[in-house]
């Protein structure tokens, strides 16, 4: 067993393949991080189960140095590994920079050598053509090359956000029988679109082929493994494991958006997190009136009741992609560019999310930044002219009109997106929001970042956290913004929290390094290493390599204690809510609350360092 890597120098178009032994590198993450260290490359890889019958095994995993996080990062998108597997390689590794924005074409027919071309594109014009942005670019690239493929190819694209900011994502949609679908999948977090465009001059990659590799496809044997472990067949176990992503009968909804909004109650976060300071009754009323009775109701009626659902491109019973016509709806983008921006109407959220997606932003970071800028406008820290827009947010809850005010705020969000891309007024996020905030905080004489919730890393790295009001969302892990942390709603003492986050990271790395979708984690985490043992006799070596990988990532951890005052409030109010609303009276929680009452900043610092100690002792103890 070995991994075959196609190394492409985008500055010259020269390429070569290299093999890496299976005894050292097992998948797209450990090999990708190695190549990043060696060459500062941007890597796209699949796991060893790509093309197999295991559902969720065709993720395309991207690794590299993240422009926004300013550290090594791992991002992935569903289904895009399926066509990649047809190239007969495990990884594409980009080095060098094309002199002008270019498309990379990869094709392999019937075991022949890979065809590779690097062609310049007038991308600024293409982004403005047809469906616009990443969608226009997808159509354009498909038009250029589709006739060269025997099977449907897949296309990775970046948008204008990748050129003008450090938070551009990479988008791809499944193409089936020559039809480009609307089900966009993203390697959004980490800003790898920005890395692809700004570091390598590549704005799109089209790939596919006809290579049939020897993938595991023996359903009888797989069923035996599943029966031994769970007393269920593969399909039965997977159906059980993915229920909430498909449809939860108890909640009468499905998908991340449906399930999260149906269950969050007083944990709702809206208006740039201002709701953390509201009373529980106020939050519950907001959730009931604007979310349950409108935002979620629309979603359930339009998407769930009509079963508008799809997969990321691979055969998967979870059908987690919940659609309304051309709009795909996940919780986190429809949260940051929903309630967090003062938007509680699906039409308005569709408008803003679609524009943000078309421009190619990582939607979670993009939405977090928009909510922050809206608050700066609302508080009159900046004028409309300074931020290049024509309106102010409508965030007055006493008079809030759910349809009209949501639409108004969405239109403001769209204006802000255009203002960011065109660098209107004083906006310039080319080097990230943290650096911009530093400069303009000095000029304004007020700490702008105190109003933004973000995780700081190194000198100018930043990340909008996952959208759960929990202590795990802001922990000092080496990679944040994805689920290498615990997002339990319970109070967990910080030292334990740190240890648990470190353990969670290792579990998630198992999935990422196998290129498997985390929505199947209920069986994949424990069973796939055992299956590796049955097939390749390497369970222990694989798990050992996961520990080493986690330590390796952790060794480059450069966490920065929360710069933003709102981060401290985020944790403090979470703890208070545990006591006051959930009636948690454990002595440790009471002690932390006392410490916060006594000296809020010092308590926050101690909580943060205790968490870091837990992370550290868990990831370093291996040696």
Q: Binding to ligand SF4 (CB under 6 A): which residues in 231-250?
A: 245
Shortest approach of ligand SF4 to residue 237 CB, angstroms?
Answer: 14
Nearest to residue 519, comparing CAs of 58, 156, 44, 74? 58
Judged by CB under 6 A, the residue of 121, 161, 204, 316 near ligand SF4 is: 316
Helix (H, G, I), strand (E, B) or coil at 399: helix
Asked whether 194 and 67 are in contact (CB, 8 A), the reply is yes
Asked whether 142 and 152 are in contact (CB, 8 A), the reply is no
Q: What string of H, E and C letters represents the secondary structure of 202-231?
A: EEEEEEEECCCCCCCCCHHHHHHHHHHHHC
d(CA 364, CA 331): 10
Residue 311 in the binding site for ligand SF4 (CB under 6 A):
yes
Shortest approach of ligand SF4 to residue 62 CB, angstroms?
Answer: 15
Q: Segment near ligand SF4 (CB under 6 A), from 33-41, 269-277, 314-322, 339-347? A: 314-322
Judged by CB under 6 A, the residue of 291, 318, 373, 456 near ligand SF4 is: 318
Q: Per-residue contact track with ligand SF4, 106 to 145, x per CB under 6 A?
A: ----------------------------------------
Q: Per-residue contact track with ligand SF4, 50 to 69, x per CB under 6 A?
A: ------x-------------
d(CA 489, CA 481): 17
Work out the angle at residue 522's Cα, subtended by the Cα atoms of residues 517 and 526, and round it to the nearest 5 degrees. 95
Shortest approach of ligand SF4 to residue 186 CB, angstroms?
Answer: 11
CB nearer ligand SF4, residue 185 or residue 618 = 185
d(CA 401, CA 381): 25
Helix (H) or strand (E) holding 102: strand 102-108
Judged by CB under 6 A, the residue of 67, 78, 159, 493 near ligand SF4 is: 78
Number of neighbours of residue 61 by Cβ within 10 angstroms: 30
Q: Segment near ligand SF4 (CB under 6 A), from 84-92, 308-316, 468-476, 490-498? A: 308-316
CB nearer ligand SF4, residue 200 or residue 244 = 244
Work out the angle at residue 521's Cα, subtended by the Cα atoms of residues 516 and 527, and round it to the nearest 5 degrees. 85
Two structure tokens written together for 470: 């929990």
Judged by CB under 6 A, the residue of 103, 206, 312, 363 near ligand SF4 is: 312
Shortest approach of ligand SF4 to residue 547 CB, angstroms?
Answer: 26
- The count of residues interacting with ligand SF4 (CB under 6 A) is 12
Shortest approach of ligand SF4 to residue 566 CB, angstroms?
Answer: 32
Judged by CB under 6 A, the residue of 30, 314, 330, 554 near ligand SF4 is: 314
Asked whether 310 and 181 are in contact (CB, 8 A), the reply is yes
Asked whether 321 and 311 are in contact (CB, 8 A), the reply is yes
Q: Segment near ligand SF4 (CB under 6 A), from 94-102, 313-321, 538-546, 564-572? A: 313-321
CB nearer ligand SF4, residue 456 or residue 517 = 517
CB nearer ligand SF4, residue 3 or residue 309 = 309
CB nearer ligand SF4, residue 275 or residue 311 = 311
Shortest approach of ligand SF4 to residue 55 CB, angstroms?
Answer: 6
Asked whether 187 and 169 are in contact (CB, 8 A), the reply is yes
CB nearer ligand SF4, residue 59 or residue 267 = 59
Torsion 561-565-571-575 (CA) sign: positive
Q: Segment near ligand SF4 (CB under 6 A), from 214-222, 278-286, 311-319, 562-570? A: 311-319
Two structure tokens written together for 391: 């309106």
Long-range contacts of the stretch 344-347 (C-beta < 8 A, 24+): 344/290, 344/291, 344/294, 344/295, 344/402, 344/406, 345/294, 345/295, 345/298, 345/402, 345/403, 345/406, 345/407, 346/295, 346/298, 346/299, 346/302, 347/403, 347/406, 347/407
Judged by CB under 6 A, the residue of 157, 291, 320, 419 near ligand SF4 is: 320
At residue 139, φ and ψ (nearest 5 deg) are -60, -45
CB nearer ligand SF4, residue 45 or residue 413 = 45
Q: 156: which strand partners?
A: 205
Shortest approach of ligand SF4 to residue 41 CB, angstroms?
Answer: 26
At residue 319, φ and ψ (nearest 5 deg) are 30, 60
Judged by CB under 6 A, the residue of 65, 84, 400, 519 near ligand SF4 is: 519
Nearest to residue 213, comparing CAs of 95, 82, 328, 375? 82
Judged by CB under 6 A, the residue of 79, 81, 388, 465 near ligand SF4 is: 79
CB nearer ligand SF4, residue 114 or residue 320 = 320
Number of H helices, E strands in the chain: 24, 19
Cα end-to-end distance, the chain, whole Å:
27
Shortest approach of ligand SF4 to residue 277 CB, angstroms?
Answer: 35
CB nearer ligand SF4, residue 80 or residue 604 = 80
CB nearer ligand SF4, residue 56 or residue 201 = 56
CB nearer ligand SF4, residue 93 or residue 242 = 242
CB nearer ligand SF4, residue 311 or residue 545 = 311
CB nearer ligand SF4, residue 196 or residue 318 = 318
CB nearer ligand SF4, residue 186 or residue 570 = 186
d(CA 359, CA 164): 10
CB nearer ligand SF4, residue 126 or residue 312 = 312
Judged by CB under 6 A, the residue of 374, 470, 517, 619 near ligand SF4 is: 517
Shortest approach of ligand SF4 to residue 461 CB, angstroms?
Answer: 27
DSSP character for 66? -
Alpha helices in 187-337, H assignment, sequence order: 192-194, 200, 219-230, 234-241, 243-246, 255-263, 280-286, 296-299, 331-336
Q: Segment near ligand SF4 (CB under 6 A), from 152-160, 309-317, 329-337, 410-418? A: 309-317
Asked whether 138 and 360 are in contact (CB, 8 A), the reply is no
Nearest to residue 323, comparing CAs of 347, 338, 307? 307
Shortest approach of ligand SF4 to residue 176 CB, angstroms?
Answer: 14
Binding site for ligand SF4 (CB under 6 A): 56, 78-79, 245, 311-312, 314, 316, 318, 320, 517, 519
């Amino acid at each position: 067993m070995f991994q075959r890597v196609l190394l492409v120098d985008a500055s010259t178009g020269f390429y070569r393949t290299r093999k890496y032994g299976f005894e050292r590198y097992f998948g797209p993450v450990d090999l990708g991080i190695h190549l990043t260290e060696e060459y500062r490359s941007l890597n796209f890889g699949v796991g060893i189960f790509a093309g197999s019958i295991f559902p969720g095994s065709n993720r395309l995993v991207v690794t590299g140095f993240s422009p926004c996080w300013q550290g090594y990062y791992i991002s992935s998108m569903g289904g895009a590994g399926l066509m990649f597997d047809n190239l007969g390689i495990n990884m594409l590794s980009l080095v060098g920079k094309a002199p002008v924005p270019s498309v990379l074409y990869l094709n392999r027919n019937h075991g022949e050598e890979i065809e590779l071309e690097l062609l310049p594109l007038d991308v600024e014009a293409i982004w403005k053509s047809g469906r616009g942005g990443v969608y226009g670019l997808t159509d354009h690239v498909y038009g250029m090359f589709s006739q060269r493929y025997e099977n449907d190819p897949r296309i990775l694209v970046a948008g204008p956000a990748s050129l003008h900011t450090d938070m551009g994502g990479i988008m791809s949609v499944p193409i089936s029988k020559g039809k480009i679908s609307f089900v966009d999948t993203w390697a959004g977090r980490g800003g790898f679109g920005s890395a692809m465009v700004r570091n390598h001059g590549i704005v799109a990659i089209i790939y596919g082929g006809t290579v049939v590799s020897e993938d595991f496809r023996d359903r009888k044997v797989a069923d035996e493994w599943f029966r031994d472990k769970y007393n269920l067949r593969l399909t039965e176990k997977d159906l059980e494991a993915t229920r909430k992503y498909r449809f939860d009968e108890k909640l009468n909804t499905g998908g991340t958006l449906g399930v999260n909004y149906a269950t969050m109650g007083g944990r709702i976060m809206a208006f740039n997190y201002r709701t953390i300071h509201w009373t529980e009754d106020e939050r519950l009323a907001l959730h009931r009136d604007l979310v349950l009775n409108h935002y979620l109701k629309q979603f359930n009626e339009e998407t769930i009741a009509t079963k508008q659902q799809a997969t990321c491109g691979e055969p998967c019973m979870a059908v987690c992609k919940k659609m309304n016509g051309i709009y795909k709806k996940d919780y986190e983008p429809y949260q940051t560019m929903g309630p967090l921006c003062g938007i509680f109407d699906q039409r308005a959220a569709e408008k803003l999310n679609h524009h943000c997606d078309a421009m190619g932003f990582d939607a979670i970071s993009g939405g977090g930044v928009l909510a922050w800028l809206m608050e700066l406008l609302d508080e009159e820290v900046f004028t409309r002219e300074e931020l290049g827009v024509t309106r102010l947010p409508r965030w007055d809850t006493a008079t809030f009109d759910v349809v009209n005010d949501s639409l108004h705020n969405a239109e403001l969000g769209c204006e802000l997106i255009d203002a960011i891309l065109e660098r209107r007024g004083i906006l310039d996020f080319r080097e990230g929001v943290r650096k911009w905030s530093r400069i303009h905080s000095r000029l304004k004489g007020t700490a702008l970042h105190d109003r933004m919730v973000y995780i700081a890393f190194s000198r100018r790295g930043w990340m909008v956290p996952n959208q759960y009001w929990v202590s795990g969302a802001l922990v000092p892990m080496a990679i944040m913004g994805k689920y290498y942390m615990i997002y339990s709603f319970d109070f967990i003492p910080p030292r334990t929290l740190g240890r648990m986050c470190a353990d969670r990271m290792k579990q998630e790395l198992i999935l990422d390094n196998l290129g498997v979708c985390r929505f199947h984690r209920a069986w994949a985490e424990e069973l796939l290493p055992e299956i590796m043992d049955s097939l390749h006799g390497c369970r222990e070596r694989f798990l050992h390599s996961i520990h080493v990988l986690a330590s390796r990532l952790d060794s480059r951890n450069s966490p920065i204690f929360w710069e933003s005052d709102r981060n401290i409030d985020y944790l403090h109010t979470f703890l208070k809510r545990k006591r006051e609303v959930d009636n948690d009276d454990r002595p440790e929680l009471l002690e932390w609350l006392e410490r916060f009452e006594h000296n809020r900043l010092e308590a926050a610092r101690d909580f943060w360092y205790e968490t870091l100690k837990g992370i550290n002792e868990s990831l370093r103890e291996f040696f």
